[in-house]
Amino acid sequence: MTKHPDVARQLAEVINDQTPQSAETLKTAISSLIRSVRNRLDMEVGFLSEFSEDKRVFRFVDCARDANLVSEDSCGPLKDSFCEMIADGRLKQLVQDTEASGETELVPEFTTIPVKSHVSVPVTLSDGHTFGTFCIFSREVKPELNRRSLMLVRVFADVIAALIEDARKCGEENRLRQQAILDLLDRDELLLHAQPICGLENKKVVGFELLARLSTDLDLSPAQLFIDADRLGLSAAIGLRVIEKSREALATLPDDVYVSVNVTPAFLEQCDISAMYTAEESSRIMLELTEHDEIADYDKLNERLAPLREAGMRLAIDDAGAGYASMRHILLLRPDMLKLDMSLIRDIDQDRDKQSLVAALRGFAEVQGYKVVAEGIETKEELAELEMLAVGCGQGYLLSRPQPIQTFSVEAPVTSDS
C-alpha cells in the first residue's frame, strides 16, 4: 500500500513558517506542495501557472517520472487556453473523464497533452487578482476523484497564493532596503571608528580595530547593515567601501601601529583586494577574519589569502574559542593572531574554567608563534586576571571605547586612556 505524505502536517509547517521566502525557498515550498497533492490524489502531473499579460506561463511543475508532459517556464497564449477556461468558469474544476464530459473537444491543448482527468482551480490573490491556476491531472480516467479532492486542491491553492503574496511583499521590502543601503553609500554615511588594542603589560597602543558606524537615521544597526548587505547581494559593495575608508584611517592613525580590518571569507572570495593597498599600507593591515558559519573549503580560502599575505598583510582569527572558530579553524588558516572571544573574557576573574581555557589558548599560541588579544575587557578585575595569565594584548571599554578615527590622529599622543 502506497504511503501518502501527511498533507495536514505539511500545510501546518508551511503556514507556520514565518521566514521570508527567497526565490529558491519559494520554489522549493510550492514544488513540494504540488508534489504532495499530486501524490495524494494519485495523479501524474501538477503545475502552477501564471497569467502574465497575454501569456500563460508554467511557473512550477511537478511530474511523475514517465509523465514529463509540461515544461517549467514554458509559455503560450493565454486566450482560450485550458487555464483561462478554468479561471473564467468555462470548464468544470473537477473532471473524472474529459472524453465523457466533452472537454476533449472543447480544449485544443488536449490534442497534444492527453489529459483524461483533472482537478483545477484558479489561484486568487487577496486583492481579487487571478494569479493563474493550480492544476493536477492524469493521463488516466480517475473515477475516484470527488468533492474532497476538489476541496484539497482549493486549500492548497489558497496556501500557494499566500506564499506568493508573502514573497512579493518580502521582495518589495528587500528592494526598498537594498535602495536604502545604496543611498547610504552614495551619501557616504558609512563611517569607521577605531578602538585601540593595547599591550596589557605597559598599556601602550599597538593597533586599532576599525569598526563600522552609521551617521544616519536609517533604522539599521551596523551589525544588521552587514547582515542585510550579505542577504541582498551588497556585501562586496559594503566591504570595498570599508577597504577604501581603511586607507584613509591608515593616513590618519599613527604610523607605528597596525590597523585591523574585518573581512569575511565570502568577501575575500568575491573581491581581490591585493592591489588596493600600497606595500607600506599592506604591512600595517591585519585582516580580521569574521566567520559565524562553517567554512566549506579551506584550500580555496587559503588560496585567496596567499597573495594578501605575500603583500605583507597579516591574519587574525576573530572570536577564537567560540562558534566555528575552533582549533581546526585555527590550524588550517595558520593566523598571525588569535582574538579571544569576549564570552571567554567576561567575568574571567571568577571562572576557573575560563581561566584554564584562556591559559591553554595562550600557551598554544606561544608555541605556534601567534599573538593573542583578549576582546571585551570591561572591568579592572578581568584585566588583572588576564595580566596574571600573561595574555599579551587586549581591547575593550575599560581601555578605550571605539571613537572617531580623528581622535587618534597622527598629531595627537596615543595612550590607552584616549
Q: Which domains does the chain have, with CATH numbers?
A: 7-172 (3.30.450.40), 187-408 (3.20.20.450)
pLDDT at 291: 63
DSSP state of 124: E
How far apart, in Å, are the Cα atoms of 278 and each of 192, 252, 311? 20, 15, 9
CA 33 from chain center: how many Å?
Answer: 24
Lookup: cell for 41: 490524489
For residue 293, what are the CA distances in angstroms to 68, 224, 324, 340? 39, 16, 7, 17
Distances in Å between the Cα of 315 and the Cα atoms of 17, 236, 243 are 40, 19, 15
Distances (CA, A) of 282 to 49, 315, 410: 55, 12, 18
Distances (CA, A) of 391 to 262, 364, 382: 22, 12, 11
CA 165 remoteness from chain centre: 21
Read off the pLDDT of residues 284-306 as tens digits, 9 standing for 90 and up. Answer: 999 999 766 678 899 999 999 99
For cell 588558516, the residue is 333
> Residue 4: what pLDDT?
43
C-alpha neighbours within 13 Å on the C-beta side of residue 204 = 7
Please state, rounded to an integer, the average pLDDT across all residues of the chain: 88
pTM, two decimals, is 0.69
User: Closest by alpha carbon to 13, among 163, 231, 125?
Assistant: 163
Cβ distance 284 to 257 under 8 Å?
A: yes
Say what the pLDDT of residue 15 is.
Answer: 44
**Model pLDDT, residue 218:** 62
Q: Please state whether beta strands 75-77 and 55-63 pair in parallel, antiparallel, or not at all (unpaired).
A: antiparallel
Residue 408 grid cell: 587618534
Low-confidence spans in the chain with pLDDT less than 50: 1-5, 7-9, 11-12, 14-16, 18-20, 412-418
Q: Is 198 exposed, middle or buried (0-12, 13-18, 19+ CB in 10 A)?
A: buried
Separation in Å, CA 234 to CA 182, 237, 239, 266, 293: 8, 5, 9, 12, 18
pLDDT recorded at residue 12: 47
